[in-house]
Amino acid sequence: MRVAVSVVNALTPGESRGRPWPAPRDLAATATEVLRAMYPTHPEVTEAEAGEYAEIAARLRAVFQAVADDDIDTAATQINSLLDESRARPMLQRHDGEPWHLHFHGTGGTLAGDWAASCATGLAIVLGGEFSDRLGVCTAPHCDRVYVDVSRNGTRRFCSTACQNRVKTAAFRARGKVT
């Protein structure tokens, strides 16, 4: 899920922490960078693959947005389409000296396709469980980055402490004006 959030936030345009967040100028380089931050041995993403990643990221963002809008029906429908199209298929694998662990692969044989299958499955597990409302979009002004709330009480509202602090400071200033 952490990977899904990072890739969605890096590749989908909008606003981030009070500033405009344009679509990456070099999509392939940005995709490679964000994936390598989590998987250091990730191969360089080609331009064609980067386009695929960006398209999937946009569709994943829509799921976060639907949940933030309390529209779980739409989120579930969108996830089902992604599961269907990516033909997500669970399989135990063992590689690079790691113990057996669960992978979700698509049948397309592309990295982005496998990624879509694995993100769609991860989101499906969240949406189908008791933590379905834990997907969110930052509620700070001029920010629309997404997050997964893993806090114990599930009260997260911001993408980052940067946004949380921005809102706190603004509220403090507003109070100062009133008194």
Contacting residues toward Zn ion, per CB under 5 A: 138, 140, 143, 145, 159, 163
Question: What's the half-sphere exposure (Cβ side, CA atoms, 13 Å) at 82?
Answer: 32
Nearer to Zn ion, 105 or 145 (CB): 145
Nearer to Zn ion, 81 or 165 (CB): 165
Minimum CB separation from Zn ion for residue 150, in Å? 16
H helices of 69-110, in order, are 72-86
Distance CA 106, CA 114 (A): 5
Nearer to Zn ion, 67 or 138 (CB): 138
CA-closest candidate to residue 72, choices 11, 132, 150, 129: 132
Minimum CB separation from Zn ion for residue 19, in Å? 10
Minimum CB separation from Zn ion for residue 157, in Å? 9
Tokens read off for 103: 């992978």
> Counting beta carbons within 10 angstroms of the beta carbon of residue 109, is it exposed (0 to 12), middle (13 to 18) or buried (19 or more)?
exposed
Distance CA 54, CA 11 (A): 6
Minimum CB separation from Zn ion for residue 142, in Å? 8
DSSP 8-state class, residue 96: T
Nearer to Zn ion, 161 or 179 (CB): 161
Place of tokens 């698509």: 106
Nearer to Zn ion, 119 or 140 (CB): 140
Minimum CB separation from Zn ion for residue 137, in Å? 9
Q: Following DSSP, what letter does each residue of 86-119 receive, concatenated?
A: HT-EEEEE--TTPPPEEEEE-SS--HHHHHHHHH
